Chain A
Amino acid sequence: MSEPAPRKPIIDLEGVSLAFGPVRAVSDVWLTIASGEFFTLLGPSGCGKTSLLRILAGFETPTSGRVRLEGTDVTTTPPHLRPVNTVFQSYALFPHMTVAENAGFGLEMLGWPKQAIRERVAEVLALVGLAALGDRRPDALSGGQQQRVALGRALAPKPRVLLLDEPMSALDLKLRKEMQNELRRLHREAGITFVLVTHDQEEALALSDRVGVMKEGEIQQIATPRDIYRQPVDSYVADFIGEANLIPAGELDREGGGLVMVRPEDVSLAGKGVPVRIEGRLLELRFLGSIVEAAVATPGGTMIRARFPSAAMEEVALPPGETVGLAWPDAAERHLER
């Protein structure tokens, strides 16, 4: 998953804000999503992900700013006139309709002829693996199956953009992994733009072409999963994505203040001939099979975690309390202003 090829933009958010009274749910968001991209909005609960998605779908009109879809200003266009479909967090299947009627609803509203609807519904139900269940009512389906109906229903009208609001949060772990693979496949096969909302950083990294990390209504950083992980713009992003050691620059005798970020897997106990970055007291050494985890407290009071292959342990078998030197390559560290 390298840099996405430059494609024409499909969604443009230009300084979009949304306020609910005093609460700023979305705050001055500038974002361009390319056609065919798998874009993920990642952030903790309450940071404004759903609100941003609702603005894209047309359920909310932004307090300020503009929304463009394929270049057209749709800021005040109602949802039923946008070529965008949503997979809702709660699935929102129509309880009084069968699976097939649910899946065909969008096509019916678009005025497709009956026969064409039947064919497209069969195609879509096969795509999500529910070919045999078209006559069931939603309440006769498992959570995973309902999820698939919601996906199929949203894909059936061949929208330009598919919006997914935490679609996997109600599924158990095994089903979630399965659905993640399914989503990637659907994205590949349908060839449409996906905008996914999640608070699960692993899911975001595994699925997306690019990730936007949100905090309190603002987008902190937009980048590929690799760049988000390797080059976070601030300690918030560094901490939210994976594990991060954030060491005050002063402790490493660096000029200019700020923080130095190193991922635990880049830190090792300094062996012979390796320059020591910082020394500290070993608090704990945990053997986890193939890897070992070490926790080291620096004299400045910062806790640094290191994670390295257990094969490297032979030469440095140390009791807790011992002073140890920590090392990492230059390329592994990143200087953060805050």
Chain B
Amino acid sequence: MKRAYDPTHSPGLGAYVALIILFLYAPLAVLTVYSFNGGNLVTVWNGASLRWFEAVIANGDIQDAALNSFIIAGSATVLATLIAIPAALGLERASRRLGVALGSLFALPLLVPEIVTAVTTLVFFASIKLRLGLANLVIAHTVFCIPFAMMPIRARVRGMGETLENAARDLYAPPLAVFRRITLPLLAPAIWSGAILAFVVSLDDFVISALVGDAGTTTLPVYVYGMIRRGITPEVNAASTLMLVFSLILAGLGRSLSRRRSRR
């Protein structure tokens, strides 16, 4: 019998993978290390210190930007998730053709270049004279968060089938009770991982936040970009490290949730 191709036995593969990982993560590692730099210059190591972290935390502008980011990400996540749950159920259970057509419509924000979305959103808001400050950004973020919130939920709805809900209906559960007692608990892990995904994507967004936002709605990435333009100090590194750590925690949470789901 012919052996199946085993990629782990290819010569040089280890080195290749190591190179890729180095390429991907070396900048992050350097950034993180230099955020502990005690000196005033980004590229010159001058002993370890936490002074730039202290500076970041004490910086009122950063605090404001972080607060904006969290308000926007939190609101957009909640809204996107509330839309994604019924949308996922509807898309998976509508007729095949309708599901495919509407599904690609919902996925559009993933395909359209972000700058195009940003410009059109800006023009749209301006033309209807919508000036709600943070809420403008919340709306814009909600739109591009929906596909991310919906992805895991749709997969779960598809995998789950309708048998369990039918069993509940058979056991005298009216529609609302079926949803509350069966559908929602079974979708919960997928809803959480979709929400975390949406939150991270919103927190991370720069292009749309920069274009659609105004002076009072500066988010963390937009503020960090502004810092860089004024000259790179290790404070930028420290702010970035904090964002990185936070994102990692959320990603870990999402992973453990999706692992719990797949054990079901």
Taken together as a complex, chains A and B put the C-alpha atoms of A78 and B172 apart, in Å, by 9
Closest B residue, CB atoms, query A153: B171
Closest B residue, CB atoms, query A95: B264
Cross-chain contact of B167 among A81, A84, A94, A157 (Cβ < 8 A)? A94
Chain B positions within 8 Å of A153 at CB level? 171
Chain A positions within 8 Å of B166 at CB level? 59, 79, 88, 92
Decide yes or no whether A328 CB sits under 8 A from chain B: no
Decide yes or no whether B186 CB sits under 8 A from chain A: yes
Taken together as a complex, chains A and B put the C-alpha atoms of A80 and B170 apart, in Å, by 5
Closest A residue, CB atoms, query B166: A59
Chain A nearest CB from B35 CB (Å) reads: 43
When the two chains form their complex, are residues A57 and B170 in contact, meaning their CB atoms are under 8 A apart? yes
When the two chains form their complex, are residues B186 and A157 in contact, meaning their CB atoms are under 8 A apart? no
Give the number of chain A interface residues (Cβ < 8 Å). Answer: 25
- Count CB-based A-B contacts (< 8 Å): 59
Of B170, B177, B185, chain A has the most CB atoms within 10 Å of the CB of: B170
Taken together as a complex, chains A and B put the C-alpha atoms of A96 and B185 apart, in Å, by 8
Decide yes or no whether B127 CB sits under 8 A from chain A: no
When the two chains form their complex, are residues A96 and B186 in contact, meaning their CB atoms are under 8 A apart? yes
B 154-177 binary contact with A (CB < 8 Å = 1; else 0): 000000000110111111111001
Chain B positions within 8 Å of A110 at CB level? 172
Taken together as a complex, chains A and B put the C-alpha atoms of A14 and B168 apart, in Å, by 27
Decide yes or no whether A325 CB sits under 8 A from chain B: no
Decide yes or no whether A85 CB sits under 8 A from chain B: yes
Decide yes or no whether A194 CB sits under 8 A from chain B: no
Chain B nearest CB from A148 CB (Å) reads: 15
When the two chains form their complex, are residues A105 and B168 in contact, meaning their CB atoms are under 8 A apart? yes
Cross-chain contact of B173 among A58, A80, A92 (Cβ < 8 A)? A80
Decide yes or no whether A106 CB sits under 8 A from chain B: yes
Taken together as a complex, chains A and B put the C-alpha atoms of A93 and B167 apart, in Å, by 8
When the two chains form their complex, are residues A79 and B169 in contact, meaning their CB atoms are under 8 A apart? yes
Taken together as a complex, chains A and B put the C-alpha atoms of A80 and B167 apart, in Å, by 10
Decide yes or no whether A317 CB sits under 8 A from chain B: no
When the two chains form their complex, are residues A94 and B173 in contact, meaning their CB atoms are under 8 A apart? no
Chain B positions within 8 Å of A154 at CB level? 170-171
A 47-90 binary contact with B (CB < 8 Å = 1; else 0): 00000000001110000000000000000001111001110101
Of B169, B173, B174, chain A has the most CB atoms within 10 Å of the CB of: B169
When the two chains form their complex, are residues A109 and B167 in contact, meaning their CB atoms are under 8 A apart? no
Known: A94-B168, A95-B264. Is A80-B174 also a contact (CB below 8 A)?
A: yes
When the two chains form their complex, are residues B163 and A92 in contact, meaning their CB atoms are under 8 A apart? yes
Within 8 A of A (CB), among B109-133: none
Taken together as a complex, chains A and B put the C-alpha atoms of A81 and B171 apart, in Å, by 9
When the two chains form their complex, are residues B182 and A94 in contact, meaning their CB atoms are under 8 A apart? yes
When the two chains form their complex, are residues A157 and B172 in contact, meaning their CB atoms are under 8 A apart? yes
Known: A88-B163, A95-B186. Is A105-B170 also a contact (CB below 8 A)?
A: no
Taken together as a complex, chains A and B put the C-alpha atoms of A136 and B182 apart, in Å, by 18
Q: Identify the 8 closest CB pairs spanning chains A and B, nearest first.
A: A106-B171, A92-B167, A109-B172, A79-B169, A92-B163, A109-B173, A86-B170, A80-B172
28 pairs of residues in contact across A and B, judged by CB atoms under 8 Å: A57-B170, A58-B169, A59-B170, A79-B170, A80-B170, A84-B170, A85-B170, A86-B167, A86-B170, A88-B163, A88-B166, A88-B167, A90-B163, A92-B166, A94-B164, A95-B164, A96-B186, A105-B168, A105-B171, A106-B171, A106-B172, A109-B172, A109-B173, A109-B174, A110-B172, A153-B171, A154-B171, A157-B172
